[in-house]
Amino acid sequence: YSPNNHSPSSSMSVFNKSKTDFSVCRVCSVPTSHIHYGIVSCSSCKMFFQRNAHLGREHGRCRFNDDCEVNINTRHVCLHCRLKKCFASGMQMSHFRSSRGNQTKTGRKRKMASTTSNDRQLTIQLPTINLLRSDNSSLNSAQWILIANLIHSYDESRLLAAARRLMNENNISQVEQIRDPTVVRDFLKQTYETTGKYLHANHDFLILPPDDRFVLLRHAAENVQCLSTIFIWNQSKLYTHRSFMKTCNYLYGEQLVNMVRHAMKFIDPDLVLVKLAASLFAFSNSLLIVRPNYTMNSSSISTIFRIQSSYAEVTWKYLVYRYGYYQAVLRFNNLIQCLMTATNITSKSLNAHIHTNDMESLVEQTEISLFLDDIEQINSDVV
C-alpha cells in the first residue's frame, strides 16, 4: 500500500455546526462533520481509537512495511497502521476525559452498561477483532506478500475516476439518451485496459509455456474484464443512470446487460476481496468456454491447479482474519455465486461482436508484452 496524505479541512468548515457542514475523516476519508479526540473523524475511527489508543502507536506489527493505505475499504486490514495514522492525524488520549466531562452521572452509567453490552456482542459476532489485536492470523509471511502483490496488480482508481468524469462531463443523470455512444464505449474500453495491465502485472502467467499461456490469457482476460465491469458499475452506480444503460443495451445487447446487473447483487463491498476474487477467477478452470477442443499439457494443468489453490487459500484465510468464521462462510459462498454468475456472462459475451473484437486486441497486446518480458529475462540470464 501507499499512504494517503489528506489535507485538513479549513478551520471554518470544522467549527461551523450547521447541517450543511461537510468534511472527511482525517484517518479513513469517510464523509463526516464530527470532531472526536481533537480531529474531524468518523464514528468508526473514534471507537477504534477509543478501544486501542492505550496500546500506543507502535503496538503490533505491520506486514506491509508500515505503509498501509487506510480508507473505508482497508481500515480494518492493519491495526498497526490505522492506529499509527490516528495518532499522526492528531487524535489525543488527553481528550478522553474531556470528551465525557459534560455527561451526567446517569449518562455515564448508561454508557458503561451499553459499552459492556456492545463488547459482549462484538466478542460473539466479530471474533476477528481478537485476531487483529493478537496478530493471530493463520496467514504466513509468504501469503501476506502474495495478497499484497495481488492487490497491487489490479488498479481500479483510473476506472473510478473515468466513471466520475463520464457522469459529470456528459450529465448522464439528466438526459434520457446519450447523444454520442462512443463516450460510453471509450469508458468501457478502459475496463479492458485495466484488465490488460493486471494480466501483465501478475507474474504467475510467465510460469506457463507460451502456447498454454496464450489460451489461459484469453480465458483470464474474459473473466477479469467481466468482474471489473460488475465491480465498476456497482461501485460507481452507473447502472442507476437510464441513459448509460440504454447505450450499453445498444452496444452489447439487453440480455448481457441484464446479466451484469443481476451479478452486481453478489459483489462484495470489500475491495480487497474483489481484487483477490479477480485473481482467483483469472485462473479458474473454465477454459472450455474459450477453446472447447483444446488440450493443455499435464504440467501446465498442475501449475494452474497449484496457483488456484494458493489463491483460494489466501482468500479464505483473509476472510477469516478479517471477518471471523461465520461471516467468512457467508461471504465466500456469495463470492462463489458471483463467480458462477460471471462465468455465465463470459459465455454469453462471446456472441457480442464489439466485446470479442476488443478482447482479441487486449489478449494480443498482453501476449506481446509478456513475450517481450520473456526475451528480457533471457537476455538478463545470459548476461
Four-CA torsion 236, 164, 248, 222, nearest 10 degrees: -70
Residues 93 and 147 in one domain: no
| pLDDT reading at 111 higher than 50 | no
Q: What is the mean pLDDT of the chain?
A: 77
Question: Any idea what the CATH number is for the domain that residue 174 is in?
Answer: 1.10.565.10
Four-CA torsion 266, 355, 370, 306, nearest 10 degrees: 30
pLDDT at 334: 93
Residues 166 and 231 in one domain: yes
124 located within any domain: no
User: From residue 313, how far is each of 126, 230, 357, 373 by CA, in Å?
Assistant: 21, 24, 35, 28
DSSP 6-55: PPPPPHHHHH--STT--EE-TTT--EE--EETTEE--HHHHHHHHHHGGG
Domain limit, last residue, from 81, 102, 123: 102
299 located within any domain: yes
Going by pLDDT thresholds of 50, 70 and 90, the confidence category of residue 96 is low
- SS3 state of residue 135: coil
pLDDT digits 0-9 by tens, 281-306: 988 865 544 455 556 777 888 888 89
pLDDT at 236: 87
pLDDT digits 0-9 by tens, 45-86: 888 888 888 777 666 677 777 778 888 777 777 888 888 888
62 located within any domain: yes
Q: CA-CA distance, 371 to 383, in Å (whole number)?
A: 19
Least Cα distance to 118 among 192, 30, 61, 51 occurs for 51
pLDDT at 211: 78
- SS3 state of residue 264: helix
Going by pLDDT thresholds of 50, 70 and 90, the confidence category of residue 104 is very low
Residues 6+ apart with CB under 8 A from 197: 155
**Sequence-ordered alpha helix ranges (H) in the chain:** 11-15, 43-52, 79-89, 95-99, 105-125, 128-134, 141-153, 157-170, 182-201, 210-236, 242-252, 254-263, 271-282, 298-323, 325-349, 353-382
Task: For the beta carbon of residue 349, count every other beta carbon within 10 angstroms.
Answer: 22
- SS3 state of residue 355: helix
Q: Which of 51-60, 290-299, 333-342, 358-367 shows the lowest mean pLDDT across its residues?
A: 290-299
On whether the CB atoms of residues 28 and 70 are closer than 8 A, the answer is yes
| pLDDT reading at 133 higher than 50 | no
Q: CA-CA distance, 324 to 126, in Å (whole number)?
A: 6
Four-CA torsion 190, 194, 199, 203, nearest 10 degrees: 150
Domain that residue 171 falls in: 142-382
- Residue written as cell 502507536? 57
Q: CA-CA distance, 198 to 225, in Å (whole number)?
A: 10
pLDDT at 291: 53
Residues 159 and 307 in one domain: yes
79 located within any domain: yes
239 located within any domain: yes
On whether the CB atoms of residues 184 and 247 are closer than 8 A, the answer is yes
On whether the CB atoms of residues 65 and 2 are closer than 8 A, the answer is no
pLDDT at 383: 52
| pLDDT reading at 256 higher than 90 | yes
pLDDT at 59: 64
Residues 78 and 167 in one domain: no
How many domains does the chain divide into? 2
Domain limit, last residue, from 102, 118, 134: 102
pLDDT at 130: 38
Going by pLDDT thresholds of 50, 70 and 90, the confidence category of residue 320 is very high
Residues 87 and 182 in one domain: no
Domain limit, last residue, from 40, 72, 102: 102
Residues 249 and 155 in one domain: yes
Phi, psi of 295 (to 5 degrees): -115, 120
Residues 272 and 345 in one domain: yes
- Give the mean model confidence (pLDDT) for residues 219-247: 89
Residues 212 and 70 in one domain: no
